[in-house]
Amino acid sequence: MELKHVNYGYPGSENLITDFTATVPKGKILAIIGQNGAGKSTLLKLLMGSVLPASGTVEIDGKPITALSRRERAAKIALVTQQHQIYDEMTVKEVVKTGRLPFHSLLATISDAEVRPFLETVNLAHAMDRPLTSLSGGQQQRVWLAAALAQEPQYLFLDEPTTYLDIRYQHDLMELIQKLNVEKQITVVMVLHDINQALKISDQLWLIKRGKLLEAGPATAILDKALLSEAFELPIKIVKIEKYGPYVIQLTA
């Protein structure tokens, strides 16, 4: 998956994304980091084909993403966001069944047995008949992850998936994502606010500022206080913590 000289913005306004060229590393975990409003979520939308660039191209498997139908894109790419709309007290299994729609026409044609393996993957098969709203925030996010996995995607996109979760559930979710990446060979692309979380979990990172790519590479390429200070427009210090490693601290301006 690649973006080649991509520009995107609303008519009559400055570009949100400017001359963006980068490659998503296949089979790896990629984190996109930068300030609020830097264009992180917009990049996900461009990669998914839900918005189209004003110029430049987005390609998947060597083909323009526009050449794929919506159903074909859904079979390749799944998205988990930080907020979800729930209708009529949906049960856990009904939520996961929505992920099977690229393979069916109606929810009614999807059996419970078909979605059970995806709930087993996130350790929630025991809750499949419960209303989604009866689960904790961390459990609900795992249900939405199961729905994404039910699409059997090649690419899993997560837009700030740890927002509103406490430290334990953040840790559990990141651990599960790493496991899925290794065991199922899914390419993972995440937008994360927590710099240290991104540095810890990712094979590659994109550091962006105001819609432009400042740096792409492993944590070692991003762990530079001058580079991070430029991206976040705050003084940055990198300290070494025993049994943890490098840790980024944003100092008071």
What pLDDT does 253 receive?
A: 54
Same structural domain, 61 and 72: yes
DSSP 221: H
Indicate the residue among 95, 118, 150 that finishes a domain: 150
Query: Is 229 exposed, middle or buried, given 0-12, 13-18 or 19+ CB atoms closer than 10 A?
Result: middle
> Is residue 99, in this structure, part of any structural domain at all?
yes
Same structural domain, 70 and 157: yes
| Beta-bridge partner residues of 119 | none
**Residues whose CB is less than 8 angstroms from the CB of residue 177 and which lie 6 or more positions away in sequence, other chains included:** 29, 145, 156, 158, 161, 188, 190, 201
Break the chain down into helix, strand, coil percent, rounded to 5. Answer: 40, 25, 35
Same structural domain, 141 and 178: no
Same structural domain, 32 and 132: no
Give the tens place of pLDDT for each residue, 140-194.
989 999 999 999 999 999 999 888 788 888 899 899 999 999 998 999 999 999 9
Same structural domain, 20 and 113: no
- Segments in the chain below pLDDT 50: none
What pLDDT does 252 receive?
A: 65
Instruction: State the total domains in the chain.
Output: 2
Same structural domain, 111 and 181: no
What pLDDT does 137 receive?
A: 85
Query: Does residue 141 sit in helix, strand or coil?
Result: helix
- CATH number at 174 reads 3.40.50.300
> Is residue 49, in this structure, part of any structural domain at all?
yes
The number of helix segments (H) and strand segments (E) in the chain equals 9, 12
Taken as a whole, the chain contains a residue count of 253
User: Element (H or E) spanning 249, and its range?
Assistant: strand 245-250
User: Element (H or E) spanning 59, and its range?
Assistant: strand 55-60
Domain that holds residue 101: 86-150
Same structural domain, 72 and 161: yes
Same structural domain, 160 and 132: no
- Of 237, 190, 228, which Cα lies nearest the Cα of 209? 228
Report the distance separating Cα 219 and Cα 136, nearest Å: 32
Same structural domain, 174 and 212: yes
**Whole-prediction pTM value?**
0.91
What pLDDT does 10 receive?
A: 79
